[in-house]
Each structure stands twice: as C-alpha cells, then as structure tokens.
Structure 1
Amino acid sequence: MEPKEPLPPLRETVRAHGLTASKALGQNFLFDEQLLDRIAAIPGDLHGATVFEVGPGPGGLTRALLRAGAKVIAVERDDRCLPLLGELSDAFPDQLTVIADDAMAVDVDTLTGGAPYHIVANLPYNVGTALFTRWLEPAAWPPRWLSLTLMFQQEVAERIVAPVDTSAYGRLAVLAQWRSQARIAMKVHRSAFTPPPKVMSAIVHVTPARQPEGVDPRTLSRLTEKGFGQRRKMLRQSLKTVAGAVDALERLGIDPMRRAETVSVADWIRLAQALR
C-alpha cells in the first residue's frame, strides 16, 4: 500500500532528525529500500496480516512492511526514534501501532489480541537470541505466530539451521528444529548497514511444524541447556543433574559417552519423551 503522502528517502529523514545508530542498543540501520522490500516479502503475502516488529529504529523495515499492506505493531525502546515512527503512522493511517517499551518486557500474544501474527524484525544483536528462544518455547503449540523472519549475525543464523555433528550444531538448532522448519532465506552483506557491523548478517525464516507427541518443552529445554552447556563433556557428565537422564540414555541405546553435538534432534526428542 502507498503512503497517504509521498515519503522522503529514509536516509534524508534520519539526517533531518539528527539520528545516529546507538551502539549500546545494538543498532545498525538499513537504508536500501529495495533490500527492505525483499525482506518484507519473505513471509509471503502480508496484505491485511498482523506483523510484530522488534526495534524498528527509524522505520526502514517498517516502511517495507506497511507498503506490503501489513498492520504493524512495533515495539521500540529508543525514544529518539519515536518521532520518525510517528510520521510513519501518520503516513499509513490505521496500519501502524508503536509501543515505547522493551521487547523483552511485552507479551506479543496480548498485544495482538490473540489473533495470528507474523514476527519480522532486524533484531538488535544484544537481545536477538534471547527473544528467539522465547518465541520457540511456548507450551501451547502451534504458537500464535505464523512465521518468524529474523535477521541475525550470520554465525547465529548458521547455528539455528545447523545439522547434527557439525561445529555450529547446538541448543539453538535443536530448539529451532524439533517442532519448526528453519532455513536461511537471505544473506545480507555488512556494507548494507549504517554503520557497517564487523560481521555478516543473514535472515532466518521459521515456520511451525507438527509437535512430536509426549514431549514437555520445558524438559527438552533443560536437557539441551545442560547438554550443550558443557559441550566438551560426555553426556553422562553433562546430564547427570537431570533426574533419570543417564538411565534413559542407556534404555534408548544412546551411548552416554557421546557428546551433545553428536546427538540428533530426533534423539533429543526421544530422550525428552522418556523423561516426561
């Protein structure tokens, strides 16, 4: 959808407001509107859909989502960005709701009124992983979110989609893959950002899948936290504080002398099922 009035280029708007990226908040701005439109297209048709966005900053990705016809709920803790987002709200009447808060402190399901929604965000580097794991761990499944389209450092993105028995495989991979489908949808060069970060970035797209029966998400979360928290140790050591885990390994035919990164997602699921 087009704005009510033509908008000046984002870079000009940011300059006019004297806004610079905050290192403390993990901000890096994207000004390439064609790139932003490509990111907004990853979830599919967003016309009339509700989208939750974390840390919109000056609103580059927000503009793209609004142009795609989405109704956006954006949570921004940087008060300096609120005037720019207010201008966007005026340009796209009834499409944008801005909440001045910390994303770690809000309940997305409540904000969206219980309706299904997509999450699309260029996540601040300093809270990205914490938010991602929170969205992966609700007790009720499928979740209210329909998809996650999230930008991470490329190293983190590769950990999310990593296969078993690779250096990148760990807790993030298990949490993202045991009842979801995760893929890297796009890589973004560091030069696309202002200021350029020291690392490359990538966008991960996640959609819910069927949850295996008999798995308590809290049990799986604890198992992977313990197992991968001490990667160099054998399972019999890293899981010894989880009641019944070592015995369950023996019953399932999983060698307790293996290390966590050699255990497939399917075997982590079997272990969680054995401990339900």
Structure 2
Amino acid sequence: MTAGMLDGRHALVTGAGSGIGRAVALALAAAGARVSLAGRRPEPLREVAEQIGAGQTGGARALALPGFDVTDRAAIDGGLADARAAFGPLDILVNNAGEAPSAPFEATDAALWAHVLAVDLTGVFQVTQAVLPDLKARGAGGRVVTVASTAGLAGYPYVSAYCAAKHGAVGLMRALAVEFARSGVTFNAVCPGFTDTPLLDGAIRTITAKTGRTAEQAAASLTRANPQGRLIRPEEVAATVLWLVSPGAASINGQAVAVDGGEMAGG
C-alpha cells in the first residue's frame, strides 16, 4: 500500500515528460508526493502535470518545469528556484534524463562522445550537486535515485558512449553513498534492461535502418536479451524507484538494482 507514503515530500524528476520519467512521476504522485516535472519540452510535461492533477484535492501536486536542460547549470538553478517556490525544499531527486544515440566505436566522434556524457553523466552530477543542500537538510529522508541501465553494468556494441556514461552514473551513486552515508541521504541507481519507451523506439529505428530488418524483427532481437522474453515496462522501473525512496529503504544505499528479467543474472 503506497497511498500517502510520501505525503509532504517534494520530488524532482528529470526527463519527466515520457517513458520511465513519466511513469516515475505518476507513481510518486500517487504515493502523495508533490512532483516537479523537469524536462526540455513543455507539452509532454504539461500533459503529465494535468494527469497528476486530475481528481486531486488539497492543492497542486505537480509543477511542469520546461526548459530544464541538465547540461546547463543556469537552467538547472532557475528550474530549482521555481520548484522550491512552489513546493519548498527538495526531499527526493530522480535523475532520469538521458539519451542513447548509437554508432560504431570507430565512427563515434568527439562531439557525439561529449554530448552523451554531458547529458547522461555530467547532467547527473550537476543536478545532484544543485539539489544536495536540500537533501542534506532533510537528513534521513533525503533520497537520490539515478535511472541508469544494464548498460551501466555490462557492455553493449554500438553504444560505447552510452555504456561509459551509465557506468559512470552508477559509480557516482556508489561514491556519494559512501561520502554522505552519515548524512542519512541515500544514493542508488536503477538499471533497467530494454524498456518499452520512446528511447527504445529510436533504437529500433536505428537497427532497421542499418540492418534492413523490420521493426518487429528489431524489437524481437532486443527482447531476446531478457530471459523472460519481453520488454521491461516503465511502470516496473517506477515501482523500483518508489521502493528506493520509501521510508523502508533507508538502509539501501550505493546499490545498482537491475530491473531486467534476469539478464544480468548470467554474469
């Protein structure tokens, strides 16, 4: 039973307009949190905010923060100022914003490498650092969860920059878990396998363009990575995030939780 579990808590979710971020935002709001929805595009964020607001009583539960670019510290600080003005200091941060362009390693130029690391790793660093004073003040209730990937636990071909960034994001959470252990703030990563999101749709388009396979064949090649023979649902990832930010997860710190149907179980 999660209803009311996060009453009075303020959560920020980056990349909240679609996919895993949207599912996480909805789950946090259903548990009683006030949710600041961060992202670059206004319309998806407003749609999520409206969905959260439908049927709510007792004041606003969601705030859209368009123009929140995790690679731009000024944009981060401006968005956080608006979030704090609406709902007070932050208690929970979910780093979800990310991109996963693919290219053979030999065709990965410095610009692509820098862009992926800027969004998927440096963005996590910047937002976490900006929110940390609020979380330290919260103490034992402070939570950071970074949505990484099984690419942060293993290697995959044609996404070397993405793998490097996600390995870095997992390592950052582990480092901060130790550094701030006595503050009561916890830092964890969630590592989904191939998940049914718009990000995966882009991967399928890339596979079809490069191999000539149909979209159905490309999707089937991805589902084979999961021993359960299916894609992960965003709601399953959101349920894991919800557990990690719950009061009962105070001792879960510095972990990388795979949500992958058993993909990582083989080594």
Greater relative contact order: 1 or 2 (C-alpha under 8 angstroms, separation 6 or more)? 2
TM-score range, shorter chain: 0.3 to 0.5
State the TM-score, normalizing by the size of structure 2. 0.45
More helix by share: 2
State the TM-score, normalizing by the size of structure 1. 0.44
Higher Rg of the two aligned structures: 1
More strand by share: 1
